Copies of this chain bind each other. A is one copy, B any other.
Amino acid sequence: MKRKWRLGVISACAIGFIASTAHAQSPAEKVYVPPGKHDEFYAFLSGGFSGQLSVYGLPSGRLIKVIPVFSVNPENGYGYSEETKAMLMTSHGFIPWGDTHHPELSQTNGVPDGRWIFINENNTPRVARIDLRTFETIEILEIPNSGGNHASAFVTPNTEYITAGTRFSVPIPQKDVPIASYAKNFKGTLTFIRADKPGKMDIAFQILVPGYDYDLAHCGKGPSYGWCFYTSYNTEQAHTLLEINASQKDKDYIAAVNWKRAEQCIAEGKYHVMKTEYYHNYIPDPEGDRIAVSEVKKEVKVIIPKECKGVLYFLPTPKSPHGVDVDPTGEYIIAGGKLSTVLPIHSFSKMIKAIKNKDFVGEVDGIPILRYEAISYCEVPNPCLGPLHTEFDGKGYSYTSCFITSEVIKVDYKKCKVVDRAPTYYAVGHLMIPGGDSAKPWGKYLLPMNKITKDRFIPTGPELFHVGQLYDISGGKMQLLLDVAEIGEPHYAQAIPASLVAPNTIKIYELEKNDHPYVTKSEEEAKVVRKGNEVHVYMTTIRSHFTPDNIEGVKVGDTVYFHVTNIEQDWDVPHGFAIFGAENAELLVMPGETKTLVWKPKKPGVYPFYCTDFCSALHQEMQGYVRVSPKGANVTIKYGTGEEMKTAK
């Protein structure tokens, strides 16, 4: 008996230990990544009004990188160095800022493959490609015939295309017409951009559509492969006070584009060539000279739907729909509705059937409008107010963000039934599940991105970081784990297991492959050359000195080009370069890379330069001087490291 009790004691305490192990699954333990361990997922959050792309680790919620895309980045000289300036050129000039909304990973067979991530710019319409080996922007394409590139950049299942729909309709081509002539003169476009080859982005075609506001998009997969879907609002075609005037109709449309049909029409010549001008910026030699170039393109192929029957249908959808999200099977299409009290699920197979049966209730500009009931799979009863966006966990559940009621609902979408709901703080916009818009979601975590922060963090004055909230969705109920502080304004996000990206990342650029025209591969080759009023400094950096570190013979009126090659070939040994008084940003030069900073000295004197990125115990000693003589002085270029200075040939 005694012994039995003893066992009882052990058993009770064993339960205690189990409880303790369960305790190890506290939210704190679930998000904690111990020093020396790594996060499980990369999460890519758009920067919104920052114009950049932010990289976080999950589950820690740590910001681990800001990738400069559409905005200049003084921190590393993006947009300031001669090598990167071309990236931000547009047909409207050099633009230092952008508004990024929707990152989208490249896909193979509908599954994110970790090669690239794309992202849109809304204000001056563009899309960008980021290489996930280097986490650098390597390509930007401007989109003509667009005013506000919002429904972008969403991929087709093999990254054949990324697509881009116009949020603000404009006269196409642009012309000076009364704003009140909106309904007559303003149009939208849905653009398909070839995206499967880096450096080769190109507009395959645009589809001219009625002057609505096209908001978001997702492309089909599985049975719906070959189609893309775009929400629209303002089918009222209001041009002023849209908050009232574009909220009149009970239903607006989802535009369903058959891009395989569009390809046929292009092949059959059913398109118009429109003269226009737009920029394609890219790095032709990303392992070599790494210098961005701009090409100016001059025309685009435009399909008019009524001339290409079957390319486009309108799906009535309540009310001012925002998100449009296709489930992993490709059959179910869930639409948000900013002002909607229902959550409609469309059926792709019913849509095809309705098209076959010509089950139309009308048409606009030759575009058939399908009958709502004919395409509707169901309306989820009692969802929430203001459903916006939906992602999928791959286990048969969808998660929809609800702006007005500040919550996320979990839906068994085949059964058309809400099974869980969780409050968010506050006013949730987009939400993200790793792989959650793909054919094979990884699930596990949910990250709603909220629009109001208020009291979530210690206060920082009127301007606050945004807040995302990380949930564990591996169980039946959503469990709130962490408030994640977000830089910029994340609109949408994507996440992918670190194991699919990390092994392909590179640590250095190979100096041997560097064929920059101003590369300096060894200290012996370092030199300074005058060409008229230009002075070219071929400079090397290595722990812990510049070669040359003393330069004389520069004059006021010269333009000095510092071509700095970091001849290190070790991981995590960048050097920085800055010079006193430069009306420019610094350079941050990675191992094996050459970057160029322009400096126009204004006054005679001796000016220091230095390494801006702590590199060694003697980093503080990594400095040099340029002597600047008056304009017109009769001086010769001299340079060196050490007491002996060379005279330029």
Contacts and interface: CB of A to CB of B under 8 A. Distances in A.
* Most-contacted residue by chain B among A38, A170, A177, A580 (CB, 10 A): A580
B621 A460 contact: no
Interface in A1-35: 2, 5, 8-9, 12-13, 16-17, 19-20, 23-24, 26-29, 31-35
B617 A48 contact: no
A441 to B, nearest CB: 20
A293 interface: no
Instruction: Name the 10 nearest CB pairs between A and B, nearest first.
Output: A16-B16, A174-B605, A28-B32, A92-B581, A168-B608, A242-B621, A97-B585, A71-B74, A135-B461, A134-B461
Contacts of A322: 620
Interface string A58-86: 00011111100001101110001000000
A240 B622 CA distance: 9
B233 A620 contact: yes
Contact of A168 (B92, B550, B610): B610
Given A28-B32, A583-B94, A463 B177 contact: no
Contact of A20 (B20, B76, B243): B20
A464 to B, nearest CB: 6
Interface residues on A, range: 35 or more
Nearest to A47: B75
26 contacts: A26-B28, A28-B29, A35-B483, A38-B458, A49-B76, A50-B74, A55-B460, A57-B457, A57-B458, A64-B457, A64-B458, A64-B485, A71-B585, A72-B74, A75-B488, A80-B97, A97-B585, A135-B460, A170-B605, A170-B606, A174-B604, A176-B605, A320-B620, A461-B506, A463-B590, A489-B612
B485 A62 contact: yes
B51 A74 contact: yes
A233 B621 contact: yes
Contacts of A403: 617
Interface string A269-291: 00000000000000000000000
Contacts of A485: 57, 62-64
Contacts of A180: 643
A459 B502 contact: yes
A99 B51 CA distance: 22
Given A134-B462, A454-B571, A580 B124 contact: yes
A594 B630 CA distance: 44
Nearest to A602: B92
Nearest to A454: B572
Given A452-B572, A460-B55, A549-B241, A404 B28 contact: no
Nearest to A32: B28
A128 interface: no
Nearest to A453: B572
Interface string A400-416: 00011000000000000
A649 to B, nearest CB: 20
A508 interface: yes
Given A92-B581, A241-B641, A627-B176, A588 B49 contact: yes
B64 A621 contact: no
Contact of A620 (B31, B94, B175, B213): B213
A218 interface: no
B459 A507 contact: yes
A9 B288 CA distance: 71
A368 interface: no
Given A16-B17, A459-B507, A549 B97 contact: no
Contacts of A178: 552, 627
Contact of A148 (B26, B213, B552, B610): B610
Interface in A367-389: 386
A360 interface: no
Nearest to A480: B35
A355 interface: no
Given A168-B623, A322-B620, A640-B240, A606 B545 contact: no
Given A71-B74, A171-B605, A95 B583 contact: yes
Most chain B CB atoms below 10 A, which of A459, A618, A629: A459
Q: Which of A29, A469, A481, A583 has the most CB of B within 10 A?
A: A583
